[in-house]
Amino acid sequence: MTITDTRTIVHDLMRSGQQRLCAAFEEIDQHAQFVAESWERPGGGGGTARVMTEGAVFERAGVNVSAVYGAEVPPSIWQHRPSTRGQPYFATGISMVLHPRNPYVPAFHANFRYFEAGDDWWFGGGMDLTPSYGFAEDARHFHVTLRDYCARHPIADYREMKVTCDNYFFLKHRNEMRGIGGIFFDDLHPAGDDGFERAFAFVSDGITTILDAYLPIVRRRMHTPYGERERMWQLYRRGRYVEFNLIYDRGTLFGLQTGGNIEAILMSLPPLARWQFKYQPEPGSPEAAMAEFLKPRDWAEE
């Protein structure tokens, strides 16, 4: 398989995934639709951002696909993989963030990506869940679905990818996880002549698994009554999401360092968030109970 073939087949997967996912999110929302905007990157490549705003279920949802290339990999790549420094690169991927309206519906993030730098190539990605209110039933469903997804592919180790996710989506300055984790992987380059095909199959199945992992939770919580207290707590927890994306998120850094479309990059931020000085939830409250969900747990085994 030639370089052109691999780039085309992965980019086509990302674009078809965008279509399927947006259709599914529109179907469950029943109120708003995604608006698409394509963009071109002066240094090479471009993409299409699809964004839903002011929906009945999703206050904001974005599903982006991009394919960019350049003469030299940006620092966010070579600092993680020193051997790629100074190499030409190609990158394509799909990324999505969904910020629900109802505080009892968790926010969701996923991305799958493919990189080439010089003669090297690898896949990365994953998905994670960020609830404002913790429900063990939801956490178990999410992690069991991801465990079963990984079990279908010998190249994937759920436990290893879960630990990687727990460590990555961690706010060091807060000493807490962003949410209840999920799976996260990078540097996926299986050995053997069929290494690319096996990695591609894993990523393709991952895009399909998004709907199985997330939508049953959305349907379970989307009609739960809530009031001003729950809304204010949701906005407070969204502040943590903003902090992570602007301080630690590699995808945000890569997009900014490669001159990507700013609106598409910052689409991941919630439409509203709040911060409160030295806020502590009331002891014994549902808000205080959320602290136990922001620690690594073996949800798939509970």
Instruction: Please give the full DSSP string across 80-93, using - where no structure is assigned.
Output: TSGGGTT--EEEEE
Q: How many residues are present in the chain? A: 302
Looking up tokens 């069991």 gives 144
Distances, alpha carbon 33 to alpha carbons 27, 90, 201, in Å? 9, 31, 29
Residues 31, 57 contacting (CB under 8 angstroms) = yes
Cβ partners under 8 Å of residue 160, min gap 6: none
Q: What positions carry a catalytic annotation?
A: 109
- For 168, other C-beta atoms within 10 Å of its C-beta total 19
CA distance 137 to 8: 40
d(CA 74, CA 78): 7
Angle at 243 between CA 239 and CA 248, to 5 degrees: 155
Which one-letter DSSP state was computed for residue 283? T
Element of type H or E holding 97: strand 89-100
Tokens of 101: 């309206």
DSSP state of 71: S
Residue pointed to by tokens 């029943």: 30
Helix/strand number for the chain, H first, E second: 9, 9
Q: What CA–CA distance (Å, rounded) separates 257 from 266?
A: 13
